[in-house]
Amino acid sequence: MISIGLRIIREQNRIYTLLLRLLSYLQPAGSKVYIFHDILDDISLVKSPFTISKSSFESFLSDQLAKGNHANTFEELTQIILKRYTGSNSFTITFDDANESVYTKAYPFLKAHSIPFIVLITKELIGKPNFLIEEQIVEMAHDSLCTIGSHALQHKMFRYMTDNEALMEYNESRTYLKQLTGQNVDCFAFPYGRLVEVSFKNIKLLKQTSYKFAFSAIAGNLNQQWLSGKYYLSRINVCEEVLVK
Q: What is the 3-state secondary structure (H, E, C) of 125-175?
A: HCCCCCECCHHHHHHHHCCCCEEEEECCCCCCCCCCCCHHHHHHHHHHHHH
**At residue 89, what is the residue type?**
N
* Complex with Zn ion: residue 87 or 193, whichever CB lies closer: 193
Cβ 122 to Zn ion shortest distance, Å: 6
* Complex with Zn ion: residue 91 or 95, whichever CB lies closer: 95
Cβ 110 to Zn ion shortest distance, Å: 20
Contact assessment for residue 237 and residue 35, using Cβ atoms and an 8 Å cutoff: yes
Neighbouring residues of 67: CB distance < 8 A, sequence distance ≥ 6: 89
* Complex with Zn ion: residue 223 or 234, whichever CB lies closer: 234
* Complex with Zn ion: residue 34 or 90, whichever CB lies closer: 34
**Chain residue at closest Cβ approach to Zn ion:** 96
Cβ 165 to Zn ion shortest distance, Å: 17
Cβ 227 to Zn ion shortest distance, Å: 22
Cα separation, 159 vs 163, whole angstroms:
10
Looking only at the bridges linking them, the beta strands covering 38-40 and 117-121 are: unpaired
Note the residues at the interface with Zn ion (CB under 5 A). Answer: 96-97, 191
